[in-house]
A and B are shown apart, each in its own frame.
Chain A
Amino acid sequence: MKQFLYFIRKEFYHLLRDRRTLFILFGMPITQILIFGFALTNEVKNSRIAVLDNSKDDATTAIIHQLEASRYFDIVNDLNSYTDLEPVFQEGKIRMAIVFPEQFQESLLHTNTAQIQLIADATDPNVANTLTNYASAIILDYQNSMRETEEFPYTIDTEMRMLYNPQLKGSYNFVPGVMAMVLMLVGAMMTSISIVREKELGTMEIILVSPIVPIRVIIAKMIPYLLLSMVNIASILLLSVYVLDVPINGSLLLLLFESFLFTLTALALGLLISSISDSQQVAMLVSLMGLFLPTIMFSGFMFPIENMPIPLQVLSNLVPAKWFYYIVKDVMIKGTGLETVWKETLVLLLMLAVLLAISIKKFKVRLE
């Protein structure tokens, strides 16, 4: 047991003395969360738009006011004619233009229909889509408010409710994703590198000649990164709750347990990588290409798995991050308990067992 403690102490020396790596390891989750939270967001805020109001009546003024009052739009141009439209789009000054036809209010009141044209810069189709949706929603709002005063005989009301994430915040989606990414990276890559480094240095030989039991070497190698990962989980969750206002709706204990389980899976993967690679570069490449990319692509946090071809969908089942991502979304955002995530938890447990079995077996007691 003492032997083991000496080993762990040594691992901590390695970790703590490599300041640069340590800084990256602690800084990574924080920067990831901040980048995803504030820079890489699908939400569109303060988009510059132009208005071409050919009617200038009460109705158009009211709609324009509502658009301006929303945090999505900034009206930067008031245009006078259609010919002005093209130049402002070309200069990139605006992302969308709203065109009201002549006698907008007249036709609305007399014929019960009126048209508004939304013209969006679709060089970025996603943004264009989002903007027109926002604008339509605001116009619909106005229409509804009119309905309260004017009695229309027949109306169909579509009421949408966005469950669990009524404000459609992107952070609800990426916080679980970032957790999966960071834990996978720290766990697998760092563990594999720290073992392979000893192979490269030749110290692994000395350790294998010594009477220390290999399983203790493995555990001693994992413990520092396990602790580091738990710190990272804490910092991600704290940032999510206090900076990004993403709630933890379910049980915190369950969430921590699942994260712990996923971290162990990542560590086991790192161990496996270390047994097949002979240099730190190879270990790093294998971790990045073999684990990090699949984590991003197949966990469902960037690209919906439902849209992938069937073979890729099947393949995605092998990615531990996919299951973890489901679990975190369920527990953290939907607030459900073990009764809904027990299957995913079992999958992770099974993966962990298989990976540990293989990698402990492959960890060479005798070098060939």
Chain B
Amino acid sequence: MSNELAISVSDLTKQFGDFTAVDAITFDVKQGEIFGFLGANGAGKTTAMRMLCGLSLPTSGMANVAGFDLYKESEKIKRSIGYMSQKFSLYEDLTIRENNRFYGGIYGLTDQEIKEKTQFMLKHLHLESQADTLVKALPLGWKQKLSFSVSMIHDPKIVFLDEPTGGVDPITRREFWTMIYEAAHRGTTVFVTTHYMDEAEYCDRVSIMVDGKIEALDTPAALTQQFDVKGMEEVFVKLARKAKRSDN
């Protein structure tokens, strides 16, 4: 893709009282990149991601998301990003079509656009026959894939995925990553957190957070070489073991 930066962060910090959840992190994400954002539980990755999405106000530091300043242009950022949280976030008492209409609607899509998107999505996920089924009746794997599609309904420049594959089976995970690749192929920047190290290997570059700081940032291949180990799993364990913070 291009060399323009999708996300640019410098010295971004978040404090909760005396506790520094995110400690002056600095990194860049290129456009169209799949960026893996790793870290043990409590390392601060969710907090960092929430700041970038505008869900949490930074204590200090600078950040530029999709070309907009995090402090001054948060409304423009909101239009340019998609977000999928750890929790499954579609409405269970609404049908697939109704969920699409709602999420498309709050992003200001027209009826026609929503219709087309929905059609495309249903076809892509082979869910045509389920369009008017209540979401609660669907299996978890489908819900998760649907959730991802919905977070992309407005064609965001960047999509933030917070542990998107938690609790789903390996086949669905694989399918999910196929979807991520497709999105990246279309030029969407993917910013993803995960606990699965095999997934880390799928990323273009990964960063590893320990105690609120970024301890390593490179391609998976370079990292394994740098730490002289066989895979990302060992890189992660080596770094995460240094953590002084306990699991929150």
Chain A residues proximal to chain B, CB less than 8 Å: 2-3, 5-7, 9-10, 13-14, 17-18, 201-203, 205-212, 366-368
Contacts and interface: CB of A to CB of B under 8 A. Distances in A.
Given A10-B91, A10-B94, A202-B85, A209 B106 contact: no
A103 to B, nearest CB: 79
A367 B50 contact: yes
A224 to B, nearest CB: 14
Contacts of A17: 93
Contacts of A10: 91, 94, 98, 102
Interface of B: 16, 50, 53-57, 75, 78-79, 81, 83, 85-94, 98, 101-108, 151
B148 to A, nearest CB: 12
B54 A210 contact: no
Contact of A206 (B79, B85, B98): B85
Contact of B94 (A13, A209, A210, A367): A13
Contacts of A206: 83, 85, 89, 103, 151
A205 B98 contact: no
Contacts of A210: 78, 103, 106-107
A18 to B, nearest CB: 7
B89 A366 contact: no
Contacts of A203: 89-91
30 contacts: A2-B105, A2-B108, A9-B101, A9-B102, A10-B91, A13-B93, A13-B98, A14-B93, A201-B87, A201-B92, A202-B87, A202-B88, A203-B91, A205-B55, A205-B83, A205-B87, A206-B83, A206-B85, A206-B151, A207-B106, A209-B54, A209-B81, A210-B78, A210-B103, A211-B78, A211-B107, A212-B106, A366-B55, A367-B50, A368-B56
A7 B107 CA distance: 11
A7 B89 contact: no
B160 to A, nearest CB: 8
B89 A202 contact: yes
B75 A211 contact: yes
Chain A interface, >50% SS class: helix
B75 A366 contact: no
A9 B91 CA distance: 13
A7, A207, A211, A367 pick with most chain B CB within 10 angstroms: A211
A367 B55 contact: yes
Given A211-B108, A368-B56, A201 B102 contact: no
A13 to B, nearest CB: 6
Contacts of B104: 6
B85 A205 contact: yes
A2, A10, A14, A18 pick with most chain B CB within 10 angstroms: A10
Given A202-B87, A202-B88, A205-B83, A7 B55 contact: no
Contacts of A201: 87, 89, 91-92
A2 B56 CA distance: 27
B89 A205 contact: yes
Nearest to A211: B78
Contact of B57 (A3, A5, A209, A366): A366
A5 B92 CA distance: 20
Given A202-B86, A211-B108, A18 B53 contact: no
Contacts of B16: 368
A366 B53 CA distance: 10
Contacts of B88: 202
Given A13-B94, A366-B56, A211 B106 contact: yes
A18 B101 CA distance: 20
Given A7-B105, A202-B88, A206-B89, 14 more contacts: A3-B105, A6-B102, A9-B101, A10-B102, A17-B93, A201-B87, A202-B89, A209-B78, A209-B81, A210-B103, A211-B75, A211-B107, A366-B55, A368-B56
Query: Which 6 pairs between the two chains have the least Cβ-Cβ distance?
Result: A6-B105, A202-B87, A209-B83, A211-B78, A212-B106, A10-B102
A105 to B, nearest CB: 77
A3 B105 CA distance: 5
A6 B111 CA distance: 10
B155 to A, nearest CB: 14
Nearest to A220: B106
A203 to B, nearest CB: 5
Contacts of A14: 91, 93-94
B79 A6 contact: no
A5 B101 CA distance: 11
A149 B168 CA distance: 97
A365 to B, nearest CB: 9
Nearest to B16: A368
